[in-house]
Amino acid sequence: MSIIFAMKTKEAKPFVKWAGGKQALVADIVAAMPERFSVYFEPFVGGGSVFLRLSPGRAKLSDANEWLIQTYQAIRDDWRRVAGLLDSLPNTKADYLAIRRIGSSSIDRFQRAAHFVYLNKTCFRGLYRVNRKNEFNVPYGAYDRRYYDPENLEAVASALEDVKFTSGDFECAIASVTADDFVYFDPPYYKQGGFADFNRYTPSQFREGDHFRLAAVCRELDARGVRWLLSNSDTPFVRELFDGFEMNAISARRDINLKSTKRSINELLICNY
Q: Interface residues with ligand SAM (CB under 6 A)?
A: 18, 20-22, 43-44, 46-47, 49-50, 63-65, 169-170, 186-188, 201-202, 206, 210
Q: Closest approach of Cβ 188 to ligand SAM, in Å?
A: 5
Q: Where are the beta strands (DSSP E) in 113-191?
A: 163-167, 182-185
Of residues 181 and 197, the one with the C-beta less far from ligand SAM: 197
Angle, CA of 260, 232 and 128, to the nearest 5°: 50
Of residues 65 and 70, the one with the C-beta less far from ligand SAM: 65
Q: Closest approach of Cβ 12 to ligand SAM, in Å?
A: 13
Cβ atoms of 209 and 182 closer than 8 Å = no
Of residues 25 and 99, the one with the C-beta less far from ligand SAM: 25
Of residues 49 and 55, the one with the C-beta less far from ligand SAM: 49
Q: Closest approach of Cβ 232 to ligand SAM, in Å?
A: 9
Cβ atoms of 113 and 74 closer than 8 Å = yes
Of residues 86 and 127, the one with the C-beta less far from ligand SAM: 127
Q: Closest approach of Cβ 110 to ligand SAM, in Å?
A: 22
Q: From CA 199, how far away is CA 254, in angstroms rounded?
A: 14
Mention every residue, 6+ apart, whose C-beta is less than 8 A from residue 56. Answer: 4, 6, 7, 37, 40
3-class SS of residue 249: strand
Q: Closest approach of Cβ 120 to ligand SAM, in Å?
A: 12
Q: From CA 101, how far away is CA 206, in angstroms rounded?
A: 25
